[in-house]
Structure 1
Amino acid sequence: MNLFRSAQAVADADGGGIIDWGSVAEAAKASTPAGDLTLSSEEQAGFRADVRDARDRLRAAGGVDFDLPETIEIQHRHHWIDANIETFRRVVDPLEPSTTVLPGVSRTINTGTMAVTMGFLGRNVLGQYDPLLLADGGHALYFVRPNIRRVADDLNVAYPRFRRWIAFHEVAHAAEFGVAPWLPEYLETRMQDSVTAISAGDLDQATFEELTTAMTAVEGYAELLMDRAFDEEYADLRAKLDARRGSGGPLKRLMSRLLGLGLKRDQYERGARFFETVADARGLEAASVVWERPENLPTDTELAEPIQWLDRVDP
């Protein structure tokens, strides 16, 4: 970790946009150790088996037919930062630069803020299903091996078991997007509209609610599939990971709050309760009806009243 080089990269931010993305990447990686990516043949085989088994068991449990992404990568932290810079850039770059007396200062602040964000996420993301929003189609699956290994040690759980659990969760997201080809564009449009409105000092409440509700469905359905497909009990893993999220120094807690990581856990729980009720009432395949078309997504009210959703879509 080289904090001086990170600060220097931000100070040297240049370019015509509101963020210098080259400096973001350099600063984020300078402040973030890449981590070890030395894989034994046994560990490589373990990753392959985890992903393959997750695909097969999720297909069987959910009654859904989907393919794995063509791109599946075991990464270190710098790989993850590089892979995500483009997505963040595509979200932010269409925004008009704010009029300011000191545009260079504004760009430096924006670059520094994004570098801190990318560095924090790079040190904490375990796995990621990336539908490559705002790109020309495609999707990818990433596993940040140094983070998975570190967290397994921190939680005092067996690394192969923890790695398998992460694989099942991320492949569950691949299942959702695989059966809902309309979903990336739906999320992309609402994400861009929300970011544009916020940058203008406004908030389109209806669009933001649609985005939040859709993401709650995405997280909740993945949680349901995990519950039904994972090949052993994992309540201890969830409890330990939740406890870990509440620990750490003040900087980590602040970053988690600013990045909405607590909200994401709320989404897991609220969405999981919704889909558990639906599956208990009509079966797991009835829950998958949510992905047939955008109109089948639950409203915010229906998330709290799943029977209303069942009456409306009548699966």
Structure 2
Amino acid sequence: MAEVNAPTGSAGADVSAPDPDTVSGLPVNWGLARRTAARLVPAGPPVSAAVATELVERLRKDAAVAEGHVRAVTRMGEGLPLLPADVVDRPAWAAAAVDGMAELTAGARLPRTARAARAVTSTTSGLQIGGVLAFVGARVLGQYDPFGGPAKDGRLLLVAPNVYAAQQALDVPSEDFGLWVCLHEATHRLQFTAVPWLREHFAAEVGRFLSMSTANGSAMIERLPEAVRAFKEAKGDSLALVELLQGPEQRAVLDRLIALTTLLEGHADHVMDAAGPEVVPTVETIRARFTVRRRGGGIVDRVLRALLGVEAKVKQYAVGSAFTTHVVGAAGMDGFNKVWNSPNTLPTRAELAAPDQWLARVA
């Protein structure tokens, strides 16, 4: 089991202190976002009741089975209960995603604005978020939400119609593909349940970034022309645009967030493939075909993916997986698990691209 210590604190300014000139949370009509997503998300593929029932029951069980395999690979989570997943349809996933986003961003402290202006912003944001989630909801296979569930203590979701549609498109065995998907999501669940400080640290960094970005809105506007020129040179890299709009302090927080999410996604991909050959006979075929699927899509789909940051997320998988593989090869899984000791042992963005520097720092 990984050695896990209490956090030694997060870098950056404290945004939790109350301020009469600020309000908590984003100006988003979350109820409108939920209704918009439910209305716009397309229906899932047609399937018989028997096939749907079998898939739902199997995925629910596979999540617990997968986490057992993940624990064997990661050497984390000893003694924690093995839990099933919540298997949902597309509208239910979108509703859960809205609730998770609201909880995650609740710590943001934003400048107080006039009630009318906030109402307009809230409505517009609700519609936009609902539209985005409708697009993503037709594609996402599963998700571990550290802030979801009735007790807000985490919820693993598997989107049955999307798992079925992807399995059919890839033409791979349904039993193998479902378990393969569960391996990735179970790794995310284990990351947050076996590392007790991670959930609070992640939420604090998100709240800090949102608070700082909004408070410095005028500076962002001043940098917009330069950012647009650089965005064109970066061939539409939406993450590059976000980075260019940040000042030095916001950029430091953003760098930490990007490094953390890259680590989490890459670690999950590495574990999925490490556990796969023992429990998923067709893992090499699934991985090869799924990698092509991540890059695929028509021109409209690819533009939307770029605008929504999906392309940046795909890059995260590769960078984070390469870092994990290198460190595990050099120091073993116990050596890699030092990343979970505290926020101070998380790799930086620079170290993700140069894992030997991280190894030297934590040695």
TM over 0.5: yes
How many residue pairs get matched?
298
CA distance in 1, matches of 2:119, 2:255: 34
How does 1:167-178 map onto structure 2 within 5 Å?
Answer: 167-178=182-193
Distance change (3 Å), C-alpha of 1:167 and 1:70: closer
Please say if 1:238 is aligned against 2:287. Answer: yes
Match of residue 62 from structure 1: 74
How does 1:27-176 map onto structure 2 within 5 Å?
Answer: 27-35=36-44, 38=49, 42-66=54-78, 67=80, 72-91=85-104, 94=108, 95-96=110-111, 105-132=120-147, 137-176=152-191
- Residue 87 of structure 2 aligns to a residue whose secondary structure is strand
CA distance in 1, matches of 2:275, 2:300: 36
Cα deviation code 1:194-253 (max 9, x no counterpart): 122333425311111111111111112212222221223524323322322333344422
2:339 aligns with one of 290, 303, 306: 290
CA distance in 1, matches of 2:167, 2:288: 13
Distance change (3 Å), C-alpha of 1:299 and 1:20: closer
Cα deviation code 1:84-105 (max 9, x no counterpart): 2112223556544656986665
Instruction: Return the TM-score normalized by structure 1.
Output: 0.84
Match of residue 14 from structure 1: none
Deviates more, 1:53-62 or 1:30-39: 30-39
Match of residue 182 from structure 1: 197
CA distance in 2, matches of 1:192, 1:135: 22
Q: Which has the higher contact order (CA 8 A, sep 6+)?
A: 2
2:297 aligns with one of 221, 224, 248: 248
Q: Report if aligned partners of 2:30, 2:98 keep a CA contact under 8 Å in 1.
A: yes
Instruction: Return the TM-score normalized by structure 2.
Output: 0.73
Q: Report if aligned partners of 2:327, 2:335 keep a CA contact under 8 Å in 1.
A: yes
Match of residue 17 from structure 2: none
Q: Report if aligned partners of 2:259, 2:347 keep a CA contact under 8 Å in 1.
A: yes
Distance change (3 Å), C-alpha of 1:108 and 1:53: closer
Cα deviation code 1:71-121 (max 9, x no counterpart): 721000111111121122235565446569866654443222111111112
Match of residue 30 from structure 2: 21
CA distance in 2, matches of 1:141, 1:271: 21
- Residue 124 of structure 1 aligns to a residue whose secondary structure is coil
